[in-house]
Structure 1
Amino acid sequence: MSTDGPARRGSAHADDGSPVTADDVRHAVRLAVATLRGAAGGDWDARAGSLEWSCWETVEHLADDLFAYAAQLGPEAPPLDREVPFSWRARRPGGPANVTFADRESGAAGLLQVLEACGAMLTAMVRATPPEVRAHHVFGPSDAEGFAAMGVVETLVHTHDVAEGLGVPWTPPAGLCRRVLVRLFPDAPRETDPWATLLWATGRGGLPGRERLTTWRWHGAVPAGV
């Protein structure tokens, strides 16, 4: 894995590994696209796992998340008190509010190309943003590594949702899961399987001896002293 991106700060965890980087974003998106291409002929209007959105809507939402994280890092002086003021809208009541949408006539191939493009935008912005830059996020002002980690989490867990809806297997690399857990979920257990732990931390699964979460959040703010 590349070491580009901000340097890793010290951690109390012995398994904190290396930082979450632009290469991790690119890798996560490539894995997701490859998996979902295998189900291109499936029912993209089926419900995505435990979500109230369809598989199509969930991929659009994921692409929009990656776009929004890239955009948040983009201004010369990124805002620290609000999101960059794009106009979000939902296509239906209860659907995800996005800036970016895919043309339905393009089919699943076009939808996945939109996901690739938005992933590439975030990859490029994480790679280009100096480590001292901070930008607003509702869960705390974050740096390029933090936005990279958020993009990876969104990619891994929403691909899980869509894979469930389309009936295809999806198990991302343990090291990728572990790095984002350390960066965004400091209270998550370290001794359990990283993918199962990430699903638990995002309210999508259980862990032995722990209650399943009904509410959850990550901690995007840069740790004090960094």
Structure 2
Amino acid sequence: MITDTAPPGPVTPDDLATVLRLAVATLRSAPADADWSRPAGSISWDCWSTVEHLADDLLAYAAQLGPAEPPRDRYVPFVSVRRFPGGPNSFVFADRAGGPDALLQVLEASGALMVSIARTASPGVRAYHPWGLADPAGFGAMSLVEALVHLHDVAEGLGLPWQPPADVCHRVLARLFPDVPLDGTAGPWPTLLWATGRTDLPGRPRRTDWRWYAAVPGEAPSV
């Protein structure tokens, strides 16, 4: 059993590769007649748009680390749009005519690029995120949060099981949520869902306001 006294170790690119592989396999298990226009769990987007948003995040995080001198005061300036009121602000979209297979291929491609750059970028690189100037490991951890919790959202919407590796969730909590103590009874995955406002825990009501901490531990938290 994982407890708050067990050292979690650092988040790695292999963690991200594993979770993305599990995520795609889970989504591929959806029935052929699954309705991807259903709401994604407790969030306001539908399942299709939520997967597009995840692919967008993964590619955007990879892009942040791509320039020879990554920007430290803004994102790399891709043009992004909202396709419907209240929808995600994105520059990555899947061809809906291709159906779920096309959507998942877009997700796989974006994820592979993020895993690749997380493996090859210099540990000394720093790039902008509004919640702190982050290194490649930090962007890998942020990619993991996006994948873990948005798969939870979509899996709820499509009625699919989603139970990610507890050790990966533990490492993500330690890297990005230092203010959140691990609940030894609930475990890392329910604690991560609580930390991101998706559920409550015994003695802890659901969060209505939350954030993570992207800056490298011990470095300045802002740009």
Give the TM-score range, shorter chain.
Answer: over 0.9
Query: Is 1:25–2:16 an aligned residue pair?
Result: yes
2:114 matches 1:122? yes
Runs of 4+ in structure 1 off by over 3 angstroms are none
Residue 189 (structure 1) aligned to one of 171, 181, 187: 181
How big is the shift at 1:97? 1.2
Counterpart CA distance in 1 for 2:160 and 2:24 is 12
Aligned residues: 214
Using structure 2 for the length normalisation, give the TM-score: 0.93
2:48 is the counterpart of 1:56 = yes
Q: CA deviation at 1:121?
A: 0.6
Unaligned stretches of 5+ residues in structure 2: none
- The aligned counterpart of 2:197 is 203
Residue by residue, what CA displacement relative to the aligned partner does 1:83-117 show, whole Å, maximum 9, x if unpaired? 00000101112211111100001100110010000
Q: Does 1:156 align with 2:155?
A: no
RMSD: 1.3
Are 1:137 and 2:146 counterparts?
no
Find out whether 1:214 has 2:208 as its counterpart. Answer: yes
Which of 96-105 and 189-198 deviates more?
Answer: 189-198
Q: 1:40 to 1:71 in 2, by over 3 A?
A: farther
Q: Distance in 1 between matches of 2:131 and 2:51?
A: 22
Cα offset, 1:225, TM superposition = 5.6
SS in 1 for 2:117: helix
Please give the TM-score of this superposition, normalised by the length of structure 1. Answer: 0.92
Structure 2 CA distance for aligned equivalents of residues 225 and 195 of structure 1: 27
Partner of 1:177: 169
Counterpart Cα distance in 1 of 2:7 and 2:100: 37
Q: Aligned residues: percent identity?
A: 59
CA–CA distance in structure 2, aligned partners of residues 189 and 171 of structure 1: 20
SS at 1:31's partner residue?
helix
Partner residue, 1:66 = 58
How far 1:22 moved relative to its partner?
Answer: 1.1
Asked whether 1:103 is paired with 2:60, we answer no
Distance in 2, matches of 1:93 and 1:70, equals 27
